Amino acid sequence: MSEKQKNRIDRRFARLRADGRKALVTYIVAGDGGLESTVPLMHQLVASGSDLIELGVPFSDPMAEGPVIQKGHERALEHKASLRKCLELVKEFRQRDADTPVILMGYANPIEKMGAEQFADAAADAGVDGALTVDLPAEEAGPLNKLLGERDLRNIFLLTPTTSDERIESIARLASGFVYYVSLKGVTGAGHLDPESVRTNLARIRRFTELPLCVGFGIKDGASARLVSEHGDGAVVGSVLVSAIGEAADAAAAKDSVAALVGEIRTALDR
Amino acid sequence: MSDQGAIDFSAFPDASGHFGPYGGRFVSETLINALDELQAMYARLKDDPEFIAAFDYDLAHYVGRPSPLYLAERLTEAAGGARIWLKREDLNHTGAHKVNNTVGQALLAKHSGKSRVIAETGAGQHGVATATVAARLGLKCAVYMGAEDVKRQSPNVYRMKLLGAEVIPVQSGSKTLKDAMNEAMRDWVTNVDDTFYIIGTVAGPHPYPQLVRDFNSVIGREARRQSLEEFGQLPDALVACVGGGSNAIGLFHPFLNDAGVKMYGVEAGGEGLATGHHAAPLNDGVPGILHGNRTYLMEDEDGQIIETHSVSAGLDYPGVGPEHAWLKDIGRVEYVTADDEEALDAFRRLTRTEGILPALESSHAVAYALKLAATMKRSQNIVVNLSGRGDKDIFTVAAIDGIEV
C-alpha cells in the first residue's frame, strides 16, 4: 500500500474506482435523535450501503443549512452535542468499524474554540479521516489545512456553480480526499437539480483536479443520486436522512427509515 | 498602548479584508463570487467623483445632512465637568445613523443592476432605513427579523410594511438579530443573481465592514470639522455605543490618526457584566468566527453562540465589528459598558435636561459620557454620538415603568 493510501478516504475511493462503482456519501448530525443513537445510526448507514460518512458537527448558527438540517442542529444541541462529543462518537464508531471513512462537517467556530492544533490532534486520535468546514474557504483555510495534512487527514473543499476557473485551480491545490461539488445556488436541501449544469461544471472542475468529485445539495432519492453520479464519482445525501431522523418516533424507527432511504439510493447507484 | 503612532488607520482593512487577526471572509464558497464582485465594484466606485457626488447629494437632500453638533449645556451642568456635545444623528431622515449606510449601499445596488434588496434587522432601524431607500429606488425589499424582535418592535414592523417591504419573521435559533442575519445570508446564497444584501452593521464578510464604515464615516468627518468650527480644536474624547459598532466606527474612524483624541465604545452591560446577561463581547467575550468574520463573540465552552441581553434591541448582538476587535487589542479605543439601568437613567436625564429623547442604544453612550465628563476639566470637550432618536423605545420604557401606552 502506498504512503498516500493510508488514509481511509483515499483507500475507499481507490477501491470504488477499481470496482467501477460510485460513492454514496451520507450525512447525519451528531447527536440528532440523542447522543446514544448516533453510533448505531452510523453503523446502519454502512450496513445499508454508505461508503463514506459525513458527521455533522452541531453549531448554533449553521449559516449554510436549509430548514431541515438547521432543525437537526437544533435537536442535537438540545441533546448537548458538541465537537468534543462528536470526536468521542467517532472513537466509539471505530471500535466496530475500522474501514469506513468519517468526515467531520461543520463550522469554523467550534474548531477555533478548541484550537486548530488540538482539534487536528484529537481528530486523528479519534479515527476521523477528514474535515469539511463550510465557512472556511480557501483564503482562510491555510493553517487548518496544514495541521490536517501533517496528520494524514484530508481537507474537503466545496466548489459551486459560481466558482471561477482561477479559484477552482487554487482550491484544487489545497484540496485532498475528494471535492464536494455543491450542485446549486442555495442552502442544503433546496431546489431542483439541473443535470446539464452539473455535467458542464463537473467537466470544468475535472480540468483542474484528479480528485474524486462528489455532488451534493438537492439529492433526494435514488434517481437524483444516479443522475449526478453519471458525471461524477459519487453523490452526497443529507437532508432526506436528517428529515427522516427528525420525524421518527424513536431511535428504532429512525434506523429503519434511514436504512430504507440509503438502501434505495445504493441500489439505484449500482444498477 | 502599543506603538499606535506607527499605524496609519486609513490603510485598513488590508487587501484580504483583515484588521490584524480579525475580519476576513468566513463564508461558504457559494458566496465568494458575489463578495468578489461587490468588492471589485466598490473598489471602482469609492473614489469615483460621480459616485461620491451622488452619495453626497443624497446625504444632503434626502437624509438632511450635515447633522448638527449640539452643545448640551444643561446636561453638561448636570455632569459637572467637560462640555458634552451631541452629534445629532437622531435628526436624520428615518431617525438614526443607519440611513447613511443604506443610502450608500442602495447606490451600489443600483450600480449592480440587481432588482431586489434584502436586510437583517434587530430593533428595526436598519430594516426601516433599507425599506426606505428601496421604496425610493423602486427596488423589491425583504427584511429578515427575529420572531422575538417582531413582537418587541411592532411599530417598526408596521413602518417597514407601509414602505412596501416584506418583513419575514425568523423562527430559528434564538429568534433574534443573529438568526435574522443567518437567514438573510441563506436568502442571498439562494438568490444571489438578482439580490443585493444590504448589511446594517460593520460586521459580516469583507468588504462589508469596510464599506459600512466608509458610508458612516460622514459622521466623524462632519464632527471633526464642526469641532474645529465650534470650539477651535479637536475633541478630547469621543463616546459612542457599540452593538455591531457602525455608528461608533463612523464617528471614530476619521479621528483614529489623531493620537490626542481618546475614544470610548460603550457596550450593553445588560443586567451587569457579572451576571453574564449582557451583550458586551469586547468586555467579556473571546475571539471566534461568526457571520463571515473573526471577531470577539459571546459563546460557551463548546464554541456555540449564546444569547445576549440588553434593554436595547439594537445592541442585542453576540458579536461586534472586526475593526473594533482590533482597535481594542491595540489599545486605540477603550471599550466600556453601561448597564440597562444606567442607560434608562441617561434616557430620562437627557430627555428632561435637553428635550431630546434618545434611542435606548444611544442612551448607553450618554450614560458613559456623564461619568466620563465628571472626571474631566470644564475646558475639555466630549463628542457623544447621539445615533438615534428614542420614539421607537417609548413602549419599552413605558412597560418598564408599568404604564400601558
pLDDT at A147: 98
* A109 → closest Cβ in B189, B190, B289: B289
Using the predicted structure, report yes or no on whether residue B63 has a pLDDT greater than 90.
yes
Q: Name the B residues in 291-320 with CB < 8 Å from any A CB.
A: 291-292, 294, 297, 299, 301-306
- B28 touches A: beta carbon within 8 Å: yes
Give the strand order in the sheet containing A157-159.
A154-155, A130-133, A102-106, A52-56, A23-29, A234-237, A213-216, A179-182, A157-159
- Percent of chain B predicted with pLDDT > 70: 99
* A109 → closest Cβ in B30, B299, B301: B299
Q: Mean pLDDT over residues B190-219, rounded?
A: 96
Answer yes or no: do B118 and B183 share one domain.
yes
| Chain A positions in Cβ-Cβ contact with residue B294 (cut-off 8 Å) | 112
- B116 in any annotated domain: yes
* B29 → closest Cβ in A113, A163, A191: A163
Candidate CATH numbers 3.30.465.10, 3.40.50.970, 3.40.1190.20, 3.20.20.70; the one for domain A3-270: 3.20.20.70
Q: What is the pLDDT of residues A209-219, one digit of tens each?
A: 999 999 998 89
A70 to chain B, minimum CA–CA distance in Å?
Answer: 8
pLDDT at B151: 86
Given pLDDT bands bounded at 50, 70 and 90, which one contains residue A2? very low
Given pLDDT bands bounded at 50, 70 and 90, which one contains residue A185? confident
- Please, are residues A202 and A213 in contact by the beta-carbon 8 Å criterion? yes
pLDDT at B313: 87
Distance CA B319, CA B337 (A): 15
CATH number, domain at B131?
3.40.50.1100
Q: How much is the pTM?
A: 0.96
| Chain A positions in Cβ-Cβ contact with residue B305 (cut-off 8 Å) | 60-61, 109
Number of domains in chain B: 2
Which of B161, B189, B212 terminates a domain? The answer is B212
Q: Mean pLDDT over residues A39-47, rounded?
A: 98
Answer yes or no: do B240 and B377 share one domain.
yes
- B126 in any annotated domain: yes
Residue positions of B annotated with a catalytic role: 98, 120, 387
Given pLDDT bands bounded at 50, 70 and 90, which one contains residue B69? very high
Contacts of A71 (CB under 8 A, 6+ apart): A242, A246
Closest CA to A87 of A135, A153, A137: A153
Which of B212, B231, B262 terminates a domain? The answer is B212
Is A67 in contact with B172 (Cβ distance < 8 A)? yes
Answer yes or no: do B85 and B117 share one domain.
no
> According to DSSP H, which parts of A133-186 are helical?
138-150, 165-174
Using the predicted structure, report yes or no on whether residue A73 has a pLDDT greater than 80.
yes
Using the predicted structure, report yes or no on whether residue B156 has a pLDDT greater than 60.
yes
- B75 in any annotated domain: yes
| Chain B positions in Cβ-Cβ contact with residue A159 (cut-off 8 Å) | 29
Query: Strand B83-88 relative to strand A213-216: parallel, antiparallel, unpaired?
Result: unpaired
Given pLDDT bands bounded at 50, 70 and 90, which one contains residue B350? very high
- Percent of chain A predicted with pLDDT > 70: 97
Closest CA to B245 of B322, B167, B147, B352: B322
Q: Name the A residues in 221-250 with CB < 8 Å from any B CB.
A: none
CA distances from B237 to A130, B194, B293 (A): 51, 44, 29
Answer yes or no: do B171 and B274 share one domain.
no
Q: What is the pLDDT of residues A251-270, one digit of tens each?
A: 999 999 999 999 999 999 99
CB pairs under 8 A between A and B: 119
Q: Could you give the ipTM of this predicted complex?
A: 0.94
Using the predicted structure, report yes or no on whether residue B5 has a pLDDT greater than 90.
no
- B239 touches A: beta carbon within 8 Å: no
pLDDT at A36: 97
pLDDT at B6: 78
Q: What is the pLDDT of residues B7-39, one digit of tens each?
A: 999 999 999 999 999 999 999 999 999 999 999
Q: What is the pLDDT of residues B252-287, one digit of tens each?
A: 999 999 999 999 999 999 999 999 999 999 999 999
- Please, are residues A155 and A138 in contact by the beta-carbon 8 Å criterion? no
Mean pLDDT of all residues belonging to chain B: 96
- Amino acid letter at B125? Q
CA distances from B226 to B67, B97, B231, B370, B384 (A): 10, 17, 8, 21, 13
Given pLDDT bands bounded at 50, 70 and 90, which one contains residue B176? confident
Which of B212, B244, B275 terminates a domain? The answer is B212
- A158 touches B: beta carbon within 8 Å: yes
Closest CA to B127 of B228, B185, B178, B198: B198
Q: What is the pLDDT of residues B355-401, one digit of tens each?
A: 999 999 999 999 999 999 999 999 999 999 999 999 989 999 999 99
| Chain B positions in Cβ-Cβ contact with residue A64 (cut-off 8 Å) | 28, 30, 186, 189
| Chain B positions in Cβ-Cβ contact with residue A164 (cut-off 8 Å) | 33
pLDDT at A9: 98
- B183 in any annotated domain: yes
Using the predicted structure, report yes or no on whether residue B225 has a pLDDT greater than 50.
yes
Q: What is the pLDDT of residues A118-171, one digit of tens each?
A: 999 999 999 999 999 999 999 999 999 999 999 999 999 999 999 999 999 999
Answer yes or no: do B250 and B204 share one domain.
no
A71 to chain B, minimum CA–CA distance in Å?
Answer: 8
Answer yes or no: do B42 and B124 share one domain.
yes
Answer yes or no: do B157 and B267 share one domain.
no
Domain of B304 in residue numbering reads as: 64-96+217-400
pLDDT at A5: 66
* B192 → closest Cβ in A67, A167, A185: A185
